[in-house]
Amino acid sequence: MSEQEFKRAFGYANTALDLLHRGQIPPYPQFYELLYTYATGVNPLLNARINAIFQGGEAPDSDLAAKLYDEFLKAHDANERINSVSERMSHRIEAVHDAIDAAMVTASSFSSTLQTATGDLEAEISAAELRAMAQRLLKETRRMQDTNRKLEQKLEAARDDLSALQRDLDEARKESMLDPLTKIFNRKCFDEGLVKAMSEAATYGEPLSLVMIDIDQFKQFNDTYGHQTGDQVLRLVAMTLKSNIKGKDLAARYGGEEFAAILPSTDYAAALHVAENVRKALQAKELLKRSTNEKLGRITASFGVASYRPGDTPSSLLERADRCLYAAKHSGRNCVVGEIGLAAPEHSGKRDPQEAA
């Protein structure tokens, strides 16, 4: 973990502990997790609920914290959907196995009947016995045909059901990788994507760059215009970032008002160009308050750019990009700072964790 990331996480932890103390809520792990998640801002529905509670003058307590934990953190919709689909798949596969077992039993019975008939035919039998044998064989054949027909129907139905279940599973997995507010990839997907991109860069000798983005003065903007407008800003930044990258590039909400872009097959100079394009595109957009059409001004962001070096770990690459981001903040915001030529000691993240706003 980089120094900047440690400071940020420590700031979130302090906020969570302060809220626990103010509400006289026991610092049990689940309540700490609830308020830590609130402090990071990564769950907009949770934040909206807690903000409404604060604005309504209600004092949070253990009972309320337990209800919020059960609603927002104990059960995750995407995971529940994945589990549900997996269970349905299991039931369908069991039904197919049962149908196959039944067909095998019928086939075994039919084979036994044929063997008996073969033995009888080798001996001298009367015409009446021959007719009886023929009727018995016809009956067994029809039973075998009926069983096979039912098996075919079940296999056909299972094929259709499994195809539909696979689509549901793919959608649920995709949903679990998206940030619910901005609809771009979430932190989990970012972490996995960075590891994969770095592995490929090391294996194939391809360039790889990382861009970290922080919305300027976001906390002040949020406090002035409200959380709904703040959510609108987050969606705007996400849309702008996503529309200015392409191919295998990955845009993600890193946490709170911070975003990131993983740029495979992109060298340092090209990554600076991408970051500058996003910065300009974002600055060019004027924000309107939807309820009143009031002009709220323009949103800007600060950018830090770093490129993969042999021997890098995800933490080391993130630390350099983070350091560049904080340098951009200290340089007046609304700018792009890259790692080449950066004076490292002065820009190692000497800021309050809330300064990201």
Check whether 292 has a pLDDT greater than 60. Answer: yes
Check whether 274 has a pLDDT greater than 90. Answer: yes
Q: How many Å apart are CA 222 and CA 237, to the nearest integer? A: 14
Q: Please name every residue paired with 215 in a beta bridge, in sequence order, or none if there are none.
A: 301
Of 27-41, 51-65, 121-135, 156-170, the range with the lowest mean pLDDT is 156-170
Check whether 239 has a pLDDT greater than 90. Answer: yes
Per-residue confidence (pLDDT) for residue 356, from 0 to 100: 40
pLDDT by residue (tens digit) across 140-186? 788 777 877 777 777 777 677 667 666 766 676 777 788 888 889 99
Per-residue confidence (pLDDT) for residue 8, from 0 to 100: 76
Per-residue confidence (pLDDT) for residue 342, from 0 to 100: 79
Match 């350099």 to its residue by tokens: 320
pLDDT by residue (tens digit) across 102-135? 777 777 776 776 767 676 666 677 777 777 877 8
* Per-residue pLDDT band at 212 (split at 50, 70, 90): very high
| List of residues 6+ apart from 330 with CB closer than 8 A | 346, 347, 351
Are 260 and 212 in contact by the 8 Å Cβ rule? The answer is yes
pLDDT: which is higher, 321 or 63: 321
Per-residue confidence (pLDDT) for residue 254, from 0 to 100: 93
- List C-alpha distances in Å: 135 to 40, 119, 128, 142, 145: 78, 16, 11, 11, 15
SS3 271: helix
* Per-residue pLDDT band at 311 (split at 50, 70, 90): very high
Per-residue confidence (pLDDT) for residue 291, from 0 to 100: 66
Per-residue confidence (pLDDT) for residue 49, from 0 to 100: 84
